[in-house]
Amino acid sequence: MTESAAASATPPRCHALVPCAGVGERAGAGGPKQYRVVAGRSVVAHTLAALAAVPRIASTLVVLAPDDAEFERHAPGAHRVARVGGATRAASVAAGLAALTADGARDDDWVLVHDAARCLVRPADIERLIAACEHDATGGLLALPVADTLKHEADGRAAATVDRRALWQAQTPQMFRLGLLRAALAAAGDAVTDEASAVEALGHAPKLVPGALENFKLTWPADFALAERLLRTRA
């Protein structure tokens, strides 16, 4: 059997990619929010533990800023890292995809991009995303239907109400083929804030897989207190 035939006979693998190069300015944490301690360990350590508990994930790569000297202290253990992070999320993910390819990942492998700051994701939800997307032509993401009434704002006042019936709140992981995601990010540039929007811009329609309310991204100072309570309740 030729090498290419052997590769095509091998089922696609799932790789997790965790962009972890941000500085967390909105969190008011006095440093990168992914290194803030919540319920006894850093935010990113909780995140990596959840990913490690998913048997279908063959490897996890953490994308760090080139000058990051803190990660190993906040996330002890043998973690694969690539210090190739860029100025934007899209740049960090694109660099991470290149690192995965250099390590032998194939274009038809699945990549699950997950926010370092979504430390409350449950392994069962990740497994459900994989099951829902592994035979899909495009891939998809965890998301939640918007439940609250939404308002357009003008000068601090409600100017209009937005129809929420077809609106979903994007979460992560977002799961796409490596080759498709690389092409999508190359075409979209650095302005996109999630992988699904880049894939959408190529004309694809990612699958929306219902997630969990507690899989929120730690962004504001109050989020950390809520995450602390939820994680301690789990323990």
What percentage of the chain reaches a pLDDT higher than 70?
93
Does 231 score more than 50 pLDDT? yes
Average the pLDDT over 38-61 and give the result.
97
- The type of residue at 146 is V
Does 140 score more than 60 pLDDT? yes
This model's pTM is above 0.75: yes
Band of residue 31 on the pLDDT scale cut at 50, 70, 90: confident
DSSP the chain: --HHHHHHHSPPPEEEEEE-----GGGTSSS-GGGSEETTEEHHHHHHHHHHT-TTEEEEEEE--TT--SHHHHS-S--EEE----SSHHHHHHHHHHHHHHTT--TTSEEEE--TT-TT--HHHHHHHHHHHTT-SSEEEEEEE--S-EEEEETTEEEEEEP-TT-EEEEEEEEEEHHHHHHHHHHH-TT-SSHHHHHHHTT--PEEEE--TT-----SHHHHHHHHHHHHHH-
Alpha-carbon distance 70 to 36, whole Å?
Answer: 11
List the chain domain ranges: 12-123+173-204+215-234
- Give the CATH H-level superfamily of domain 12-123+173-204+215-234: Spore Coat Polysaccharide Biosynthesis Protein SpsA; Chain A (3.90.550.10)
Strands 139-145, 207-210: parallel, antiparallel or unpaired by DSSP?
parallel
Nearest 10 degrees: CA dihedral of 127, 39, 172, 191? -160
Write out the two tokens for 128.
Answer: 């459900």
Average the pLDDT over 154-170 and give the result.
95
What percentage of the chain reaches a pLDDT higher than 90?
88
